């Protein structure tokens, strides 16, 4: 599979879960912009066979190479960013929850889900848009996870799917976040305000904003139906460093705030 097909599949899956993304994409395209994807992000648990180590060979086969590791102590996450040999391809940001750092009840719920994963499904690209590899948790289990880790609850209910696409602000005709935010506000798109509407600054070489995730009904194991957060859209403006190279990394302080875009307690 080539990258173009891979990202098309991801986009098709993502926009089904996240109708706002199609709408926002259209708003910027209608304003005369060429939309370039800065990066996509994936979330998972650090449990085989769906941990970063098990799934990253798929990215390497697509031409990606690991670029930089990241740690989010408070959120109990490890992450890696990946760059493609072809700089026209989007970056990939892949994080995993350190499940062993959660309480025993939360660990038990997650381990029960991961036991259901069919290992043979984890070697194909399609694992990245396959959704839950397990039966839906019960509402009670979901709430137990949510109380400890919003990230854990999201992965348990949504599964393996892209968490967000990102519009490259550098490629917009007005290449600044003020323009982006004005457009989003006039379209009444709710934004993630944690850490400020704009996260980061020119000195950190990366400025980012994100929407609040869409919500969708999920039927939980016990038959209860509840609206939960799905995915959101991000916007990234990159600056050049002192040697004139465009910054390629991610800023942990920004990412830490961006993770809150799926926190439905913000609604
Ligand atoms: Ni991102």
**Distance separating alpha carbons of residues 148 and 155, to the nearest angstrom:** 13
Q: Residue 64 has what DSSP assignment?
A: E
Q: 57-90, pLDDT tens digit by residue?
A: 999 999 999 999 999 999 999 999 999 999 999 9
Provide the pLDDT for residue 82: 98
**How many other β-carbons are positioned within 10 Å of the β-carbon of residue 207?**
21
232 C-alpha to ligand 1 centroid (Å) = 10
Average pLDDT over residues 112-136: 97
Q: Report the separation in Å between the CA atom of 177 and the middle of ligand 1, taken as the mean of its atom positions.
A: 15
Distance (angstroms) between ligand 1 centre and the Cα of 95 equals 11
Here the tokens at position 151 are 């990230």
Average of per-residue pLDDT across 118-127:
97
Residue with tokens 């919003």: 150
Q: What is the pLDDT of residue 160?
A: 98
Instruction: Provide the 3-class DSSP secondary structure of residue 143.
Output: helix
- CA distances to 53, 108, 261 from 199, rounded to whole Å, are 29, 35, 12
What pLDDT is stored for residue 266 in this prediction? Answer: 67
Distance 234 CA to ligand 1 centre (A): 6
Interval 252-262: pLDDT, tens: 888 888 889 99
Q: Per-residue pLDDT tens for 152-209? A: 999 999 999 999 999 999 999 999 999 999 999 999 999 999 999 999 999 999 999 9
Q: How far is the CA of 258 from the centre of ligand 1 (A)?
A: 7
Residues 79/93, Cβ–Cβ less than 8 Å: yes
What's the CA-to-centroid distance between 23 and ligand 1, angstroms? 19
Whole-number Å distance, alpha carbon 64 to ligand 1 midpoint, is 17
Whether the per-residue pLDDT at 264 is higher than 90: the answer is no
Interval between CA 19 and ligand 1 midpoint (Å): 18
**Number of alpha carbons in the 13 Å side-chain half-sphere of residue 7:** 19
pLDDT averaged over every residue in the chain:
96
| pLDDT level of residue 217 (50, 70, 90 thresholds) | very high
pTM of the shown model: 0.96
How close is the Cα of 222 to the center of ligand 1, in Å? 33
CA of 102 to the centre of ligand 1 (A): 24
In the sheet that holds 37-45, the strands lie side by side as 64-72, 77-84, 91-97, 37-45, 162-168, 232-238, 206-210
Separation of CA 146 and ligand 1 centre (Å)? 21
pLDDT at 142: 97
Q: Any residues with CB less than 8 A from the CB of 109 and at least 6 apart, and which?
A: 137, 141, 144, 145, 156
Cα distances from 96 to residues 46, 88, 113, 120, 134, in angstroms, run 5, 26, 15, 20, 17
């Amino acid at each position: 599979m080539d990258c173009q097909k891979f990202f098309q599949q991801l986009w098709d899956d993502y926009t089904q879960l996240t109708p706002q993304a199609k709408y926002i994409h259209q708003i910027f395209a209608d304003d005369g912009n060429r939309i370039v994807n800065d990066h996509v992000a994936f979330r998972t648990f650090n449990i085989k066979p769906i941990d970063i180590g098990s799934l990253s060979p798929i990215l390497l086969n697509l031409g990606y190479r690991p670029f930089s590791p990241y740690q989010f102590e408070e959120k109990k996450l490890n992450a890696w960013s990946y760059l493609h040999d072809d700089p026209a391809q989007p970056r990939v940001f892949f994080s995993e929850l350190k499940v062993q750092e959660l309480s025993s009840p939360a660990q038990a719920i997650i381990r029960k889900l991961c036991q259901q994963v069919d290992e043979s499904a984890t070697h194909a690209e399609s694992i990245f848009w396959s959704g839950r590899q397990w039966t839906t948790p019960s509402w009670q289990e979901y709430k137990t996870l949510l109380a400890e880790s919003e990230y854990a609850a999201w992965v348990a209910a949504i599964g393996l799917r892209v968490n967000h696409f990102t519009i490259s602000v550098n490629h917009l005709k007005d290449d600044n976040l003020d323009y982006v935010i004005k457009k989003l506000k006039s379209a009444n798109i709710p934004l993630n305000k944690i850490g400020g509407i704009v996260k980061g600054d020119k000195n950190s070489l990366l400025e980012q904003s994100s929407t609040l995730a869409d919500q969708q009904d999920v039927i939980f194991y016990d038959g209860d139906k509840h609206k939960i957060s799905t995915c959101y859209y991000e916007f990234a403006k990159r600056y050049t460093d002192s040697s004139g190279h465009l910054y390629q990394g991610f800023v942990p302080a920004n990412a830490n705030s961006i993770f809150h875009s799926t926190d439905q307690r913000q609604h």
